[in-house]
Structure 1
């Protein structure tokens, strides 16, 4: 068999589905070039047609220049860059990238930590072809205790058919994307919506290296904390349970001091329970304010989701291709 015949067979064996790869970029100038080259190598080797979408979340470290320089070295590939107007976090930024994707299947790369063998990308894709609309790649080890705590609480009180966990990337079918968009105009937490979209989901675990885990900066940590709090209120009943517990405690404490007062009255004893009375008052006000705080948080989220919160704000979209 000649070399030309081998090349012809190799081209015919490439996947015919059009795929999109959406990559979140925020101050990743040191890593974006290497990551783009790796992703492009995998996609060009296995697919006839694909696109790469980099969502630049208002990076200020030269990430956009690194993307432009890398795009010049990649031939035959369309690279789109979505420039967000200001820092909006991974959730809204990824939503923006997914909205302009046109692939039959869409890879979501929330982070650039390649603590896995690149063959895992195609393994996730091939698993989706067996009937799964969403397939996740999840590391076996999670280094952040806060993430473990969040997922433990979320899964305990959400009653989701698919428990959430730390994931590195995933692939979505076009049907999954359409389903999610039909469920909600605003998607504050994609993973929770995916888990409850009613389609088949699978997860491939891989042995990861914790040394490649990146520490988040202050702004990202704050944004992730806000997203975690909003997600617990939107998708779980943990806030309702906390409010109910506070209300029950207040009722029991009030009932107890009432019984104590009546007992003193009928036994002609002088009521000297000043301390206990003040404790009931203090805990009573605390419980009232705790419940009010939860109610106010609910109302503020409803206002944001229904009236004031936009899906996202894009400054521009650049197309880079040879």
Structure 2
């Protein structure tokens, strides 16, 4: 019997970048599934596992699985210490050489393997970035973050929870030309000016990955930084605070003058309150201006975050 899949394999070189952090329970099956999909559909491909300083047996399992896959080379990027999904994925993408790159931020496979090819095939129709997004997201914190982000940074491509995506090499080059450092990939992708599409799929929200305390803290920090970098929420909150303080200090000033005119005041109270009111008014007015300039500078020049790699392994049978 003729294998149709082998005859009709794609000629594009693809890379699969997989984020790994203490995933010993999932990594073996996930790698085998990724390899099976790529082997059946592509002539040439590479698999890159970014090991974010895992403390379990994830690295040993990757090495073991890699040696059981004939003819396939798996590259392992070992981060020097735990640096989180954003910097780790940046490291993996930087060493990828594919015409198209699969980004797997996590190994929760709440979808059928065939979805990978559907996403890739959609990218061939003219989209430089195609996302695979679950219809059901169980994390309330994620919903809140995306609601705030999309409200304060309205754009043509609202952000949402995604499981994986495919990027064209043009998209990667465009993003790198925009900024040498990428603090939050999804936001940069959404604003790179290229065509983006999303494929939704039915999923079980109970399959969502649970994070440890360290990861939860880093994700919250990243969410806060992203809101500061890519939205005007900080500026609008500072303006609101400044307006409230101005109104309050103005009211105190009026009350002080009335107290002075009516002589219903404690000795020294009038001059003290005038000084405090004027001081608060000036401080908050200046802070509003400074924060506005800082928000502009932050938009133009991102913080110089760099990842640190301990080693890169090439594993083959």
TM-score (norm. length: structure 2):
0.89
Q: In the TM superposition, what is the alpha-carbon distance from 1:292 to its structure 2 partner?
A: 6.4
1:221-266 CA distances to partner (integer Å, 9 max, x unpaired)? 1110111111001000000001001100011011112222223333
Conservation of the 8 A alpha-carbon contact between 1:52 and 1:79: yes
Q: In the TM superposition, what is the alpha-carbon distance from 1:288 to its structure 2 partner?
A: 5.9
Taking the TM superposition and a 5 Å limit, the aligned residue runs for 1:47-196 are: 47-196=42-191
**d(CA) in 2 for partners of 1:216, 1:293:** 37
Q: Structure 1 281/208 Cα, relative in aligned 2: closer, same or farther at 3 Å?
A: farther
Structure 2 equivalent of residue 3 of structure 1: none
Structure 1 equivalent of residue 218 of structure 2: 223
Q: In the TM superposition, what is the alpha-carbon distance from 1:10 to its structure 2 partner?
A: 3.6
**d(CA) in 2 for partners of 1:294, 1:58:** 42
Q: Structure 1 153/306 Cα, relative in aligned 2: closer, same or farther at 3 Å?
A: closer
**d(CA) in 2 for partners of 1:154, 1:246:** 20
Conservation of the 8 A alpha-carbon contact between 2:122 and 2:130: yes
State the superposition RMSD in angstroms. Answer: 3.1
The answer on 1:242 being equivalent to 2:242 is no
Structure 2, gaps ≥5 residues long: none
**d(CA) in 1 for partners of 2:288, 2:60:** 45
**d(CA) in 2 for partners of 1:142, 1:120:** 18
1:170-189 CA distances to partner (integer Å, 9 max, x unpaired)? 00000000000000011000
Q: Structure 1 319/46 Cα, relative in aligned 2: closer, same or farther at 3 Å?
A: same
Structure 1, gaps ≥5 residues long: 1-5
Taking the TM superposition and a 5 Å limit, the aligned residue runs for 1:37-56 are: 37-56=32-51
**d(CA) in 2 for partners of 1:308, 1:163:** 23
Structure 2 equivalent of residue 205 of structure 1: 200
Q: In the TM superposition, what is the alpha-carbon distance from 1:88 to its structure 2 partner?
A: 0.6
Conservation of the 8 A alpha-carbon contact between 1:23 and 1:111: yes
TM-score (norm. length: structure 1):
0.88
**d(CA) in 2 for partners of 1:293, 1:253:** 16
Conservation of the 8 A alpha-carbon contact between 2:138 and 2:206: no
Conservation of the 8 A alpha-carbon contact between 1:239 and 1:294: no
